[in-house]
Amino acid sequence: MGKMIDARGLSCPEPVIMIRKAMASNDSEYEMIVDNNASKENVTRYATHQGYTVDVTEKDNEYYLSIKK
């Protein structure tokens, strides 16, 4: 499991900024939790553009993003 980033309660662009900062470490894997669809879509789009694959699991109105290179 990669670095865990909890972005619940935050609206864009904050979750994208958080994942961008985390990706500066060049880890191959990150886990992120967001609680709104816009953040899920924006973080997924950003990570994909950076060459990562994103698997999304929805549970209790929260989205768990598994971001891997």
Q: How many domains does the chain have?
A: 1
pLDDT per position as a tens digit, 2-12? 789 999 999 99
pLDDT per position as a tens digit, 13-65? 999 999 999 999 999 999 999 999 999 999 999 999 999 999 999 999 999 99
pTM above 0.85, yes or no: yes
Question: Residue 45 is part of a domain; what is its CATH number?
Answer: 3.30.110.40
Picking from 48, 36, 29, the residue whose alpha carbon sits closest to that of residue 8 is 36
DSSP collapsed to 3 states, 3-68: EEEECCCCCCCHHHHHHHHHHCCCCCEEEEEECCHHHHHHHHHHHHHCCCEEEEEEECCEEEEEEE
pLDDT value for 2: 77
Picking from 44, 46, 66, the residue whose alpha carbon sits closest to that of residue 55 is 66
pLDDT value for 20: 97
Token duo for residue 14 = 């904050």
Which residues form the domain of 10? 3-68
